[in-house]
Structure formats: structure tokens, C-alpha cells
Amino acid sequence: MSADLQVMDDNLITRRKKIMQSIEDIRSKKSEIAQALRELGVGNPQENEEVKNDMKQLLEAYDAISKQEVQYMDILKTIVGIHEQATLDIAKDFEERIEKDAQKLADEKDKKEEEADENREKSPEEMANGELIAELNEALLELKKVQEAAVAASELNEKLVEKFQLQKKKRTAMTELRAKKAKELDDEATRVRAEVVERINKMTALKKTTTKQEKELKELQKQCLQLGLQLESEEQNGQNPGAELDDNQRVPVIAETQQRAELNEEEKEKRREEIRENIKKEMEKKEEVNTLIREKLACMDARRKRLQQIRKMLEKQEEKKAQVAAQTGEGIPLTPETPRPSLDTDAPDGDAQPEENDDEPMVEKSLDDILANARANLDNITAMRERLEHLKETGGADLNEDDLQLMEQLEAIDVEPEIEA
């Protein structure tokens, strides 16, 4: 108790010093304000509104710090009273201890004198019997202590058994929960793996179809170009039909020449219209293919972002596990290091079309990156499943809060695919 009072006394002294310092600061500020008021009061301050406002603000500040000084003085009085009361309590405590020690010494002295008087009056046989009785009393006390210790040990054993049973039930529940989570995650990983493989196959088929359509479009463009050149040559030939004829051949029948020219113009216009319609159809078909490609690439980009989000979460979990393993020397990494190929592929422009067949390796390379990324994500999901299987086999011996948090986060994440085949 004296130690507590000493600590309290030290705290009171420290607070008293701080409050005294605060009071000194307040008084110095009051002196500064009073000096400023005296300086502003020189002359005719009533005529200057700015000086009057300054004096009003200084008076308000003076009143505020005066109230604060009164509050500090009240606190100081309280601390002084507490300090005096603590001093009186300590003195009273020492007096009580001195009285108790004096009474105890007097009782021991009286007891020793009584024992000495009894020993003088007793015979040797009685003294021997007294020693034997004292030994028996000591043995009984020792047995009583042993019995009490045995009872306490029995109670402690019962408590430990109850605690062990409770821990066993908790471990069983956690094992069942981990097994359920592992099964659900395994099923989800299998489903996602099948969907990814299906999408890869469909993307491969789409790539082949797109390549074939591009080749057909190139052939149609070449044919249109050839038809356009032929029409131009026919038009040039039609402008001077008798340029290379001699004078005798330049006298055809006028009616027949005009009729043939009209027929040629109709055929040319009809052919031009057919070419325009074919080009329009091919352009529409090309636009549909480009739109489909853009939609697929946008869906793939959304899927990539979702997979990157899952990968970041796995990396954070990996760092936490590494920190725990570094501190405790236990634990295994959650996921192995897997290559993560780049997904920064630019979407092709809908209006730009490849001019030659040499651009096909570029498309092949982008699809290879997509396939590699899908396989890397499958490896990550497989590593997560292996981690859960490891926890299931070990019975959750190294399970911690991070593993439980990972399970909850994986359960909350919507791994449903965002792109349709």
C-alpha cells in the first residue's frame, strides 16, 4: 500500500508542478494583455473604432484566461488537499504497522515465557510426550496440506478435462468446416477450369473463322479491284470505238452504233450497281466481324481484370503467410510461384484490316498469351485446392486466422465468368 501511495504521491507532485507552470504562463499572458491595454488606452481610444474593437477583444481574452487561472487554482487546491490526505494516510498506516508489530512481539514474548514456565514444571517424560505430540501435530498438518493439495489437483484436473473436451469439439467443428470449404472450392475450381477450357476452344474456333473470313474478304477486294480495272478499260475503249479503224471502217450504220452504245451503258451501270451492292455487303459483313471481335476482346479484358484481382488477393495472402512463417518458423506458402504472362494486348481497330497474310502470327501470339494466362490462373486455383487439402490432411494443425479469412474472401468473390461463349 505504501508503494501505491508513493506512486500516487509522485503523480500528484508532477501534476502540481505542471499546474503551477500553467498558472505562471497564464499570469505572464495577463501581464502582456494588461500592458497592451495600457498602450491602447493612451490618447483618445473612444474616437477610433479599430482601437475600441482591439481593446474589447483583449478584455475578453483577459477575462477568459482569468477564469482559466481560477480553474487551475481550484485544481491546485484539490491536489494539495489530496497530497495532505495521502500523507496522513501514510503516517496512519505506519502507526498501525508499528502497533501491530509491537503487539506481535509482546505476544511472542509472553508465549515464550509461558512455554519456559511449563517446561520447568514438566518432568522429562511429559516433555518427551509433548515433543511426540508436537511431531504428531506437525504430521497431521502435513497430511492436511497434502489432502488439500490433492483436492485442488483433482479440481484442476476436472477443469482441464472440460477444457480439453471443449477444444476437441471446436477442432472437430473446424475440421468439418474446412472439409466443407475445401469441397466447395474444389468443385468451384473444377467448374471454372472446365469453363476456361471451353472458352479457349471457342476462341480458337473463332480465330480460325476470323482468319478464313479475312482471307475471303481479301479475295473479294481483289476481285472488286480487277472488275473496276476492267470497267475502266472498257470505258476507255468505248470512248473511241473507231480510233484504230481506217476510213472505210469508220462509216458504220449510225442507228446500230447508237443502239450498241446505249446497251453498253446499261450493262456498265448494271455491273457497277452489282459491284456496289457486293462491296456494301462485304463491308457490312466485315463490320459485323470486327464488332464481334471487339466484344470478345472486351469480355476477355473484363475476365483478365477479375483474374488479376484474384491474383492480387492471393499475393497478399502469400505475403502474410511468409511473414508468419518468418516469425514462427512454421507454415508453408499458400501458392507456388507461377509465371504470369503479360496480358497487355491491344484490341484491333474495327476499320483497319490486314493487307497481307503475314499479320496472322501477331494474332497467334496474342491468343498464345491468353492461353498461357488461363493456364497460370488454373495453376493458382490448383495451388489453393492443394493448400486446402493439406489443411484437411493435417487436421488444421497450422490453421490460423489468415486461412479462415482467405476462405471467407474466396467464398465472397463471384468467380462466375463475365464473358459468354
Cell of 189: 475450381
Sign of the CA dihedral running 351, 356, 359, 360: positive
Question: CA 114 from chain center: how many Å?
Answer: 80
CA–CA distance, 40 with 54 (Å, rounded to integer):
8
Q: How many residues does the chain have?
A: 421
pTM: 0.25
Distances (CA, A) of 359 to 95, 265, 347, 348: 104, 41, 14, 12
At position 78, the amino acid (one-letter code) is: T
Query: What interhelical angle do 360-394 and 254-328 show, nearest 10?
Result: 30
304 vs 300: CA distance, rounded Å: 6
Q: How far, in Å, CA of 297 to CA of 292, rounded? A: 9
Half-sphere exposure (Cβ direction) of 414: Cα atoms closer than 13 Å: 5
| pLDDT tens, position by position, 163-210 | 888 888 888 998 999 899 889 888 888 888 888 888 888 888 888 888
Written as one letter, the residue type at 394 is T
CA 393 to each of CA 190, 198, 381, 389, 398: distance values in angstroms, whole numbers, following the listed order = 20, 32, 18, 6, 11
Give 3-state DSSP helix, strand, coil % of the chain, rounded to 5. 85, 0, 15
pLDDT tens digit string along 376-389? 777 777 776 676 66
Q: Which residues contact 106 (CB under 8 A, 6 or more apart)?
A: none
CA distance 48 to 45: 5
- CA-to-CA dists, residue 241 to 79, 249, 252, 262, angstroms: 127, 11, 11, 14
Contact indicator for 418, 295 with CB cutoff of 8 Å = no
Q: Which three cell numbers stand for residue 286?
A: 466485315
How far is it, in rounded angstroms, from Cα 305 to Cα 293?
18
- Between CA 398 and CA 178 the distance in angstroms is 12
Distance from chain centroid for Cα 7: 44
pLDDT attached to residue 113: 77
Question: Tens-of-pLDDT digits for all 421 residues of the chain?
Answer: 444 444 445 567 777 788 888 888 888 888 888 888 787 776 665 667 787 788 888 888 888 888 888 888 888 888 888 877 877 888 788 888 888 888 888 888 888 777 777 666 655 666 666 677 777 778 888 888 888 888 888 888 888 888 888 888 888 998 999 899 889 888 888 888 888 888 888 888 888 888 888 888 888 777 777 766 655 555 555 544 444 444 444 444 444 444 444 557 778 788 888 888 888 888 887 787 677 767 766 777 787 787 778 778 877 877 877 787 777 654 444 444 444 444 333 333 434 343 334 444 444 445 667 667 777 777 777 776 676 667 666 665 666 666 666 666 655 554 444 444 4
